[in-house]
Amino acid sequence: MNVSIQTLGCKVNFAEMTELGDRLARIGFSVSESADNADICVINSCTVTAQADRKLRTLVHGLRRRHPQAHLILTGCHVDNPHPRVSAVPSADVAFPNARKSEIFDYVSANFAPAAAGGSTTFARSRFFLKVQDGCDHRCTYCIVWRTRGRSRSDEETSLIERARQAVSDGYGEIVLSGVDLGAFGRERGASLAPFVRRLLEAIAPARLRLSSINANDFTPELVELAGAPRFCRHLHVPLQSGSDRVLKRMGRLYRRRDYLDLMSALRRQSLEIAVTADVIVGFPGETDADFVDTENVVAEAGLSGLHVFRYSPRAGTAAPRLGLPVDDPISRERSRRLQIQAEAQRRAYEARFVERDLEVIWDRRFPNRIRGLSDNYITVYAPARGQTLGALATIRPLASCNDGLLCG
């Protein structure tokens, strides 16, 4: 029996579905991302923006239209959104909130028969996504995730290290730590992230380690020091959201402009050419032209090599709508466009520094005549297909830039 897994949103969602897919394959199901010939479709949802909600509804309705006999299982943050008009997706056959997501395996195995020929899975990537933490104790005024994911909680370190070791034994060359609020790892039991990262780096040799996303206020001196450690990827995703102290305060963020810039300086003292990417929200209620210019300036001064730019989206159940109306749509669209142009220019300038220099990449996707890799500092690299192994690490030397990365000869 064929199981299709569709994942929207963050790397935590993907890590959860990778684990589910692996478990189902082990008991005989055929698991993939493709919905072709699907008997069961599992959709792990996101509700961080109104656009995410629309994308989910389009996906679910499309799956129902194209595959009317398939059993649709919906889970994820959309299910937990407390606003009833948002969380209702009647096309799904059954819905599992985040707290019961682990029960999907039992539900499928109890109600559907696996294939007689044995299971398989293509729902995987060349990098192994290891979920180590869930939930969030912060109350950012624009965010609904603390309601949909619950309080912060962390998995046990020894079992996480064993799972990572097994992934390396299975051939993965990179482990990606993921969490809803990764910087809070271990906090509920008096522990912290940096000592765990150090233990994990030692345990997974020769594989490399990447952090998925961590807030600026969660960097300890020990974690900053790890930015220069061998096999720690020279890339961090550190959400910015705004470069204006006034807007950051209204957002409920726990750092300010100077904190963010000081962190960038400290990171580059450990790893001179580290890549830092970020999320930015434009059009937040009350954001002025001056506030937006502050954001442009911080993006430039921080030397960010990539941005995810979001236009503010009011979420029922959050505090931000009480702060006033969002910035007018044409203005927020223009601010988004300006910031994306700036981000693209900064990305290209950063990547150009590595032309004709050695980079360590992990091969992650095969095309008819070429193969794609991701460098330790988060640059997409393309090379001619010469029998490279997906998931393997290799040292290459790019020769030129292209639209979305670097090219090898």
Domain 2-121 and domain 128-352, same fold? Reply is: no
Q: What is the pLDDT of residue 9?
A: 86
Q: Which CATH superfamily is domain 128-352 in?
A: tm_1862 like domain (3.80.30.20)
Handedness of CA 196, 198, 204, 208 (dihedral sign): positive
Instruction: Answer yes or no: are the C-beta atoms of 74 and 304 closer than 8 Å.
Output: no
Q: Which pTM value belongs to this model?
A: 0.90
The predicted pLDDT at position 10 comes to 87
- What was the pLDDT predicted at 126? 84
CATH fold for the domain made of 2-121: Rossmann fold (3.40.50)
Residue pLDDT, tens place only, 133-167: 999 999 999 999 998 999 999 999 999 999 999 99
Tokens of 112: 């559907």
What does the DSSP assignment read for 330-372?
Answer: HHHHHHHHHHHHHHHHHHHHHHHTTTTS-EEEEEEEE-SSEEE
Q: Do residues 102 and 148 lie in contact, with contact meaning Cβ atoms separated by under 8 Å?
A: no
Which of 314, 301, 287, 398 lies closest to 346 in space, CA to CA?
Answer: 301
Residue 18's pLDDT is 87
For the beta sheet containing 208-211, the strands, ordered from the edge strand earlier in sequence to the opposite edge, are 153-154, 128-134, 174-179, 208-211
Domain limits, the chain: 2-121, 128-352, 359-407
Q: Which pLDDT score, from 0 to 100, does residue 114 have?
A: 83
Joined together, the tokens standing for residue 117 give: 């020929």
**Distance between CA 39 and CA 26 in Å, rounded?**
17
> How much is the pLDDT for 294?
98
Contacts of 135 (CB under 8 A, 6+ apart): 146, 149, 150, 151, 152, 153, 180, 181
Q: pLDDT tens for the chain, 409 residues: list them.
A: 899 999 998 889 888 998 898 889 888 898 888 888 889 999 999 988 888 888 888 888 898 899 899 999 999 998 888 775 556 677 889 999 998 999 999 999 999 988 656 666 666 668 999 999 999 999 999 999 998 999 999 999 999 999 999 999 988 999 999 999 999 999 999 999 999 999 999 999 999 999 999 999 999 999 999 999 999 999 999 999 999 999 999 999 999 999 999 999 999 999 999 999 999 999 999 999 999 999 999 999 999 999 999 999 898 889 999 999 999 999 999 999 999 999 999 999 999 999 999 999 999 999 999 999 999 999 999 999 999 998 899 999 999 999 999 999 8
Q: For residue 75, report the phi and psi dihedrals to the nearest 5 degrees.
A: -145, 180
- Residue-wise pLDDT for 25-58, tens only, equals 888 898 888 888 889 999 999 988 888 888 888 8
What's the pLDDT score for residue 203? 97
b/e burial code for range 153-178 (CB count within 10 A of at least 16 → b):
bbbebeebbebbbebbeeebbbbbbb
